[in-house]
Structure 1
Amino acid sequence: MPVSLQVIYPVSAESRFDHGYYAATHMALVDEYIAPHTQSIIVTKGLTGGPDVPAPFHAVATMVFADQAALDAAMQAAGPALADIPNFTNVQPQILIGDVVR
């Protein structure tokens, strides 16, 4: 069964997030170290939380893996991408791992 990993960067009054660095540099590391183990990667940049509501998240990265073994392999290889997080944000990302049901 496919498994997804979502990395969610919440907005707060103190948070900073460099979208340019994230798109150009961090995602290149993700492509090099994590993407070979994935079926797909989608990154969503937060724009709004609804009409006249600020975005609650800077970004959400969703990665889909064929199975838990593929996710485990990606996590074994992810060190350089994980070490890069402080270079674009001071946010402690939230993580959601789950079964893909559709």
Structure 2
Amino acid sequence: MAVSLQVLYPISDGTTFDFDYYTSTHFAIVGEHMGEHVESMLVTKGLAGGPDVPPGYHAVASLVFADQDALNAAMEVAGPVLADIPKFTNVQPQMLIGEVLS
């Protein structure tokens, strides 16, 4: 069964996020190190948390893997990806691993 890894970057006072670096450099690092294991990836930039509500997240990245083994293989080589995070944000990302239902 397919599994997903979602990486959420919450907004709080004093947090920063460099979208230019994230899209131009970090995406390439993810592709270089984890890409062969990823079936698809969707990245969303937070615009709002609802009508007239500011966003709660700078961004959410959703990566889909064929199965748990593929996710495990990707995580084994994710060191450079994780080490790159402080280059575009001072946020401690939250992660959610889940079973893809649809």
- Give 2:42's aligned residue: 42
Deviations 1:8-49 (A, max 9, x none): 000001110001100001111001111210110100000111
Q: Which residue of 1 aligns with 2:57?
A: 57
Task: Report the identity percentage.
Answer: 63
Which structure has more strand as a fraction of its residues?
A: 1
Amino acid at match of 2:3: V
Whole-angstrom distance in 2 between the partners of 1:34 and 1:13: 31
The 2-side partners of 1:83 and 1:97 are apart by 20
Cα displacement string for residues 69-96 of structure 1 (whole angstroms, at most 9, x for unaligned residues) = 0000000111111100000001000000
Which aligned segments of 4 or more residues in structure 1 are displaced greater than 2 angstroms? none
> Can you give the 5+ residue segments of structure 2 that lack an aligned partner in the other structure?
none
SS in 1 for 2:16: coil
Counterpart contact for 1:18–1:88, Cα < 8 Å: yes
Q: Which amino acid aligns with 2:43?
A: V
Q: Normalized against structure 1, the TM-score is what?
A: 0.98
- Extract unaligned runs of 5+ from structure 1: none
Report how far residue 99 of structure 1 moved: 0.4
Q: CA RMSD in A?
A: 0.6
Is 1:75 aligned with 2:75? yes
Structure 2 length as normaliser, TM-score? Answer: 0.98
